[in-house]
Amino acid sequence: MNAAGLRFFMIGLADTINSPIYFDKLTGEGVSADELKGTRDDANALVNAINATPAERIEKLVAQFDGVLTHAHDTFQHDWQLNRLQGFRDAQVMIGFVTSLFNKAGIRP
């Protein structure tokens, strides 16, 4: 994964969890509206940070953690199609991981 791939993935992830259809499915599976809103807000903040940060700065982070990021991407894509709740949990992990990377690099979502 490179900076463009991370950007593409995070935009897609944010779009997925911002879908009203996704919301309806998740609230029926035990995710509260507040938890979904918080995860959506975190995803949107991360996308905004990615869009506002020069690609070269993100590229260094992505290069260092390519294997973990690619695995998280693949896991989300697989789980999302089979089990939306597990896909949502995968999204939360991915958002937390990327946010942590950005914080360590001084990039504030």
Per-residue pLDDT tens over the stretch 89-105: 999 999 999 999 888 88
How confident is the model over 63-92, as a mean pLDDT? Answer: 87
Angle, helices 33-52/84-104, rounded to nearest 10 degrees = 40
Cβ–Cβ < 8 Å for 105, 61 = yes
The band of 37, judged by pLDDT with boundaries at 50, 70 and 90, is: very high
What the block records as the tokens of 63 is 């290069």
Q: What span, in angstroms and rounded, lies between the C-alpha atoms of 42 and 81?
A: 22
Q: Is 37 exposed, middle or buried (0-12, 13-18, 19+ CB in 10 A)?
A: exposed
This prediction has a pTM of: 0.88
The band of 29, judged by pLDDT with boundaries at 50, 70 and 90, is: confident
